[in-house]
């Protein structure tokens, strides 16, 4: 959600919602394609800038696909520059986060929408279109993400202007078009063939109402897919979807080039990070068991040379040169940028990849059959007695912390421990215990309610195994609908205590319910 200070600054600034910018003729180049041959056609049109509105669709703060989330993140600096220029040119800006627009109650940009007159939306054009290419929605390749509705607002870095609007329906957008006398709408945002096309404020709906709709092809990204075995990347997926729009739905513009011609885009700006597929981060790493193929791209800087490091150092023009997709076989952090004639032309990106261990054997003794030496969890401790917070409970045996079945990565488990981070459970190590084994992950019962609406983005847990106070094994950050982390920890001779720890990932403990599943000890045979 937008930061509170920014919100406070907007209050009282929307009395007239009027623009003082002087109208400027926009002489733009529209690109279309022949529906059969695909041949590109260019036409030129002059439009008064105050006849144009800009609609940003679903610039969300989260997506169930980690790579899709980061690709939205990659566009936000570019979109901010474009929307700032649009405002200067007198173009009304409409921010449309659809599913989560009602989370903006109290924001003047949203509440002002309800002061608009009720209008009847005409059906001027019967808009038809063949099915749009859809690559499945996950850009993480073989290790696919699991769907949920975890987003709860727009990207936190997306700038909300004091005179912007937040419409959600076709009639709300149409009323705004009538208010400002708009004839044209420029669309930016995500995910092109799903949200940007199909939502009620989307391109198809507004075109049917008689608006001239234009897609900014440099500021949109498709609902992505990734299959390196056939050289299919999220960028190629977006290209195909944009071409489909140009053939069957609407012309496109390169918005950066149009703004540059108007003196509203500085060629020295560095706004685009190098894109990574799949794109894990420290707080949402990409987990894998078999080697994965990583692709690096900078499609908006075609003359740039991509350079990266894998030792934690800052990438420079002298770092490893990217020549094509490569395999990652071990836990790795990749830092990458792009350069032209020695000058950085892309923002630095980082990709985090964590190799999981083979699945361990079942334990001979489950932790649920043992009495812990110590058990503490999320809350306060007074006089040695824990007081658990809210609905949180003490660690629960063979069920989630909230009393439901243990559930990790779409699988349920009979044996284990349901916790809320931070939590520590300590067991005595018997002489016959040789290994600790188990699976650990974010508990997924949150997605059983409205598919995790507004909440599935929050669980983020690090699991640790300590032996006599020394770290013996640790997981990466575990998130909703990602593979369970596999623990298979040898126990040294003479060891006395084993601690199972769940920690928040450094971003707070909201919804940090976690499960230790099929966890216990392998004994000496």
Do residues 98 and 55 make contact, with C-beta atoms less than 8 angstroms apart? no
Region 376-382: what's the mean pLDDT? 85
Looking at the domain that runs over 277-355, which CATH code has it been given? 2.60.40
- The answer, yes or no, to whether residue 7 has pLDDT greater than 80, is no
pLDDT at site 201: 97
Strand pairing class (212-221; 184-190): parallel
The DSSP bridge partners found for residue 187 are: 55, 215
* Percentages of the chain per state (helix, strand, coil), in multiples of 5: 20, 35, 45
pLDDT tens digit sequence for 471-485: 999 999 999 999 999
- The answer, yes or no, to whether residue 414 has pLDDT greater than 60, is yes
At residue 39 the predicted structure's pLDDT band, cuts being 50, 70 and 90, is very high
Residue 341 neighbours by CB distance under 10 Å? 9
Region 114-127: what's the mean pLDDT? 95
Distance between CA atoms of residues 32 and 245, nearest Å: 8
pLDDT at site 54: 98
Handedness of CA 195, 123, 92, 164 (dihedral sign): negative
Do residues 307 and 319 make contact, with C-beta atoms less than 8 angstroms apart? yes
- The answer, yes or no, to whether residue 511 has pLDDT greater than 90, is yes
H/E stretch holding 6 reads helix 4-10
DSSP state of 193: I
At residue 17 the predicted structure's pLDDT band, cuts being 50, 70 and 90, is very low
Record the tokens describing residue 423, joined without a space.
């939590």
DSSP state of 60: B
- The answer, yes or no, to whether residue 362 has pLDDT greater than 70, is yes
Please give the residue that has the higher pLDDT: either 403 or 19. 403
First-to-final CA distance of the chain:
55
CB-based burial label for 232 (10 Å; 0-12, 13-18, 19+):
middle
Region 191-220: what's the mean pLDDT? 96
At residue 4 the predicted structure's pLDDT band, cuts being 50, 70 and 90, is very low
Do residues 178 and 119 make contact, with C-beta atoms less than 8 angstroms apart? yes
Cis peptide bond N-terminal to 278, omega within 30: yes
**Residues with Cβ within 8 Å of residue 70, at least 6 apart in sequence:** 275, 276, 279, 281
Q: What is the dihedral of CA 456, 482, 479, 231, to 10 degrees?
A: -90
Region 391-409: what's the mean pLDDT? 95
Q: How would you list the strands of the sheet with 374-376, edge to edge?
A: 374-376, 423-428, 497-504, 461-467, 470-474
CB-based burial label for 60 (10 Å; 0-12, 13-18, 19+):
buried
Do residues 224 and 137 make contact, with C-beta atoms less than 8 angstroms apart? yes
pLDDT tens digit sequence for 166-179: 999 999 999 999 99
Answer yes or no: CATH 2.60.120.10 is held by domain 365-523. no
pLDDT at site 135: 85
Q: Which of 17-21, 354-358, 374-378, 398-402 has the lowest mean pLDDT?
A: 17-21
For 150, 224, 278, 357, 395, the CA distances from 285, given in Å and listed in that order, are 17, 18, 10, 15, 26
Distance between CA atoms of residues 154 and 103, nearest Å: 10
Residue 207 neighbours by CB distance under 10 Å? 18
H/E stretch holding 236 reads helix 234-248
pLDDT at site 5: 38
Superfamily in which the 4-9+27-267 domain is placed by CATH? Isochorismatase-like (3.40.50.850)
DSSP 84-119: HHHHHTT--EEEE-GGGGGGGTT-HHHHGGGGSPP-
Task: List the one residue out of 104, 214, 87 whose CA is nearest residue 168.
Answer: 104
- The answer, yes or no, to whether residue 226 has pLDDT greater than 70, is yes
DSSP state of 215: E
Distance between CA atoms of residues 274 and 476, nearest Å: 24
Distance between CA atoms of residues 338 and 485, nearest Å: 34
**For the chain, what percent of residues have pLDDT higher than 70?**
96
pLDDT at site 383: 78
At residue 11 the predicted structure's pLDDT band, cuts being 50, 70 and 90, is very low
Query: 3-state SS of 119-142?
Result: CCCCCCCCCCCCCCCCCCCCCCCC
pLDDT tens digit sequence for 50-80: 999 999 999 999 999 999 999 999 999 999 9
Domain boundaries, the chain: 4-9+27-267, 277-355, 365-523
3-state secondary structure of 51: helix
Region 218-227: what's the mean pLDDT? 95
Record the tokens describing residue 436, joined without a space.
């600790």
């Amino acid at each position: 959600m937008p930061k509170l200070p920014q919100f406070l600054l907007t209050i009282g600034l929307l009395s007239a919602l009027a623009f003082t910018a002087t109208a400027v003729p926009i002489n733009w180049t529209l690109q279309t394609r022949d529906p059969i041959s695909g041949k590109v056609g260019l036409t030129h049109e002059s439009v008064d800038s105050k006849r144009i509105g800009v609609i940003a669709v679903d610039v969300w703060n989260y997506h169930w696909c980690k790579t899709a989330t980061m690709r939205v993140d990659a566009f936000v600096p570019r979109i901010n520059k474009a929307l700032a220029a649009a405002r200067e040119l007198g173009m009304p800006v409409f921010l449309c986060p659809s599913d989560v627009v009602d989370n903006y109650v109290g924001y003047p940009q949203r509440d002002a929408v309800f002061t608009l007159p009720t209008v009847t939306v005409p059906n001027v054009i019967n808009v038809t279109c063949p099915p749009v290419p859809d690559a499945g929605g996950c850009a993480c390749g073989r290790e696919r993400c699991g769907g949920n509705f975890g987003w709860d607002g727009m990207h936190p870095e997306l700038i909300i202007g004091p005179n912007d609007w937040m419409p959600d329906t076709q009639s709300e957008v149409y009323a705004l078009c009538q208010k400002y006398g708009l004839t044209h709408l420029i669309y930016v945002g995500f995910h092109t063939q799903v949200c940007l096309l199909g939502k009620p404020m989307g391109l198809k709906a507004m075109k049917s109402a008689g608006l001239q709709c234009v897609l900014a092809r440099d500021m949109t990204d498709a609902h992505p897919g990734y299959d390196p075995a056939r050289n299919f990347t999220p960028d190629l997926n977006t290209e195909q979807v944009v071409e489909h729009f140009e053939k069957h739905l609407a012309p496109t513009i390169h918005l950066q080039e149009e703004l540059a011609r108007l003196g509203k885009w500085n060629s020295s700006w560095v706004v685009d990070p190098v894109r990574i597929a799949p794109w894990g981060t420290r707080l949402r790493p990409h987990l894998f068991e078999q080697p994965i193929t990583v692709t690096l791209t900078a499609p908006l800087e075609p003359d740039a040379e991509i350079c990266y490091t894998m030792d934690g150092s800052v990438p420079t023009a002298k770092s490893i040169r990217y020549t094509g997709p490569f395999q990652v076989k071990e836990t790795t952090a990749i830092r990458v940028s792009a350069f032209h004639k020695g000058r950085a032309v892309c923002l630095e990106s980082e990709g985090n990849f964590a190799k999981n261990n083979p699945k361990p054997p079942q334990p001979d003794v489950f932790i649920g059959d043992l009495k812990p030496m110590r058990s503490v969890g999320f809350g306060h401790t007074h006089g040695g007695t824990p007081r658990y917070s809210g609905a949180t409970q003490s660690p629960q045996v063979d069920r989630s912390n909230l009393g439901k079945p243990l559930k990790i990565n779409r699988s349920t488990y009979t044996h284990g421990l349901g916790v809320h981070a931070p939590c520590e459970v300590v067991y005595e190590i018997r002489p016959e215990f040789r290994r600790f084994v188990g699976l650990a992950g974010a508990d997924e019962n949150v997605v059983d309610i409205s598919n995790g609406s507004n909440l599935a983005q929050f669980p983020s847990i690090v699991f640790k195994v300590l032996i006599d106070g020394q770290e013996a094994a640790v997981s990466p950050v575990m998130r909703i609908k990602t593979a369970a982390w596999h623990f298979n920890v040898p126990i040294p001779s003479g060891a006395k205590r084993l601690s199972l720890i769940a920690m928040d990932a450094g971003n707070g403990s909201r919804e940090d319910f976690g499960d230790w599943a099929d966890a216990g000890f392998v004994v000496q045979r």
